[in-house]
Amino acid sequence: PITPGELLCLGSSLAFSGLFYYLYRRKARVVSRIQEAPKLQVDDNLPALVSAAEGRCLPYVALEGIVLPAQAALTSHYHEGLQGVIQKLLLKEHRLIWNTLVRSW
C-alpha cells in the first residue's frame, strides 16, 4: 500500500522535474540561438546594418574587431594584460496603457 506521504513526495518530485526540464529547455534554446548568432565586424557599416534589421534590433550577434574605450580601458586585477571596455546601452520602450480612471490612453 502507498501512503499519502509517499504520494506527496512522488507528486512534488514530478512537479519539480517538470519545472527544471522546462527551465533547461528554455536555456538550451537561448544557447543555441547564441551559437548561431551572425558575426559582424565593428566598422562604419554596423549602424546601417542595425537600422536595416527588423525592429532596429539584432537579438543575438557576435561583434568582431577592435573596440576602443571612450576614456581609459579597464584592466583586470586578476590577469596581467587583460583589458576591457564597457559600452553603455540605453533601451527605451514605449507602451500605451489604458487608464480606467480617466478613460483615455
Q: Is 98 contained in some domain?
A: no
Q: Is 22 contained in some domain?
A: yes
Looking at residue 99, its pLDDT comes to 65
Q: Is 68 contained in some domain?
A: yes
User: pLDDT at residue 20 above 90?
Assistant: yes
Nearest CA to 85 among 76, 94, 98, 95?
Answer: 76
Q: Is 25 contained in some domain?
A: yes
**What pTM value is reported for the model?**
0.47
Looking at residue 100, its pLDDT comes to 65
- Percent share of the chain, pLDDT over 70: 76
Number of domains in the chain: 1
Q: Is 93 contained in some domain?
A: no
Looking at residue 6, its pLDDT comes to 95
Q: Is 13 contained in some domain?
A: yes
How far apart (Å, rounded) are the C-alpha atoms in residues 13 and 20? 11
First to last CA, the chain: 61
Cell (9 digits) for 105: 490612453
Q: Which domain holds residue 72?
A: 4-84
Q: Which residue has the higher pLDDT, 61 or 25?
A: 25
Q: Is 101 contained in some domain?
A: no
Looking at residue 37, its pLDDT comes to 84
Q: Is 50 contained in some domain?
A: yes
